[in-house]
Amino acid sequence: MASKQKILVVDDESDIVELISYNLTKEGYQVYTASNGKEAIKIAKEVYPDLIILDVMMPEMDGIEACRIMRSMPEFKQVFMVFLTARSEEYSEIAGFHVGADDYIAKPIKPRALMSRINAILRRTSSEAIDDYATDKLEISDLIIDRDSFLVYRDDDKFVLAKKEFELLYLLASKPNKVFTREQILKAIWEDSVVVTNRTIDVHIRKLREKIGENYVTTVKGVGYKFELN
């Protein structure tokens, strides 16, 4: 139930905090707030939220530094973290993903889109992994991804995937809109194989798109890939 899930909203702009908090509370979430990174870490240690929404640019400690510090703590490694920012520069987005962000939302905030994104993120627990499926089938977007048969269905179409192609698709689709870095993908799909390179991931992504279509897997330049759920 949403009422059991706690969300920490961190932004130095009070109107933004109020807007997000109002919409989250209306959805049934338990909301906590902070105005900078230092305060966010303190409150997070007290309430252990399921999700933290962090502004990038804040006084005292910015969101990227706060995320980096919390990701270094065992108790926050599995907490979802989403960045807010009014900045459009690509480097700030990449910096956020490199310190462990799960998603990235640009200001100005559109409440309906924000709630849709947050609900999608929290539908799945962060403990899910490619080698520990919660279900034998994923039904997402207009696809059915069947783990037992290594087949993907869309309406009357059936797609036969190679094992690694299937595992890659399942990993991305298991957490829609989450960006997986190349390092995360390599570790999850190919583990410690020394012969696998980033080029291997690119080839498998290209084959996936050729088989199921271009609209599902999105490239996040300089970071990795995600399953796009609109």
Q: Annotate the chain with DSSP letters as a single string.
A: -GGG-EEEEE-S-HHHHHHHHHHHHHTT-EEEEESSHHHHHHHHHHH--SEEEEESS-SSS-HHHHHHHHHTSGGGTTSEEEEEES---HHHHHHHHHTT-SEEEESSP-HHHHHHHHHHHHTS-TT-BTTB-S-SEEEETTEEEETTTTEEEETTEEEE--HHHHHHHHHHHHSTTPPEEHHHHIIIIITT-TT--HHHHHHHHHHHHHHH-SSSEEEETTTEEEE---
Closest alpha carbon to 133 in 166, 103, 179: 166
Residue 217 has a pLDDT of: 95
Long-range contacts of 11-19 (CB under 8 A, 24+ apart): 11/35, 11/53, 11/54, 11/55, 11/58, 11/84, 12/36, 12/55, 12/58, 12/59, 13/55, 16/55, 16/84, 16/107, 16/109, 19/109, 19/111
Residue 144 has a pLDDT of: 93
Quickly state the pLDDT bin for 128 (edges 50, 70, 90): very low
Residue 17 has a pLDDT of: 96
Quickly state the pLDDT bin for 11 (edges 50, 70, 90): very high
Q: Which domains does the chain have, with CATH numbers?
A: 2-122 (3.40.50.2300), 137-227 (1.10.10.10)
Q: What is the mean pLDDT of residues 15-25?
A: 95
pLDDT, tens digit (0-9, with 9 covering 90-100), for 65-117: 999 999 888 788 778 898 887 765 555 666 777 787 777 787 888 888 888 88
Residue 9 has a pLDDT of: 98
Q: What is the mean pLDDT of residues 215-223?
A: 91
Reply yes or no on whether the pLDDT at 15 is more than 70.
yes
The one-letter code for the residue type at 50 is D
pLDDT, tens digit (0-9, with 9 covering 90-100), for 133-190: 445 788 888 999 998 888 899 988 999 888 888 989 999 998 888 889 888 888 888 7
More confident: 218 or 148? 218
Q: What is the mean pLDDT of residues 13-20?
A: 95
Residue 129 has a pLDDT of: 42
Residue 88 has a pLDDT of: 58
Q: What is the dihedral of CA 112, 8, 184, 171, to 10 degrees?
A: -50
Instruction: Give the chain's mean pLDDT.
Output: 84
Reply yes or no on whether the pLDDT at 195 is more than 60.
no
* Percentage with pLDDT > 70 across the chain: 86
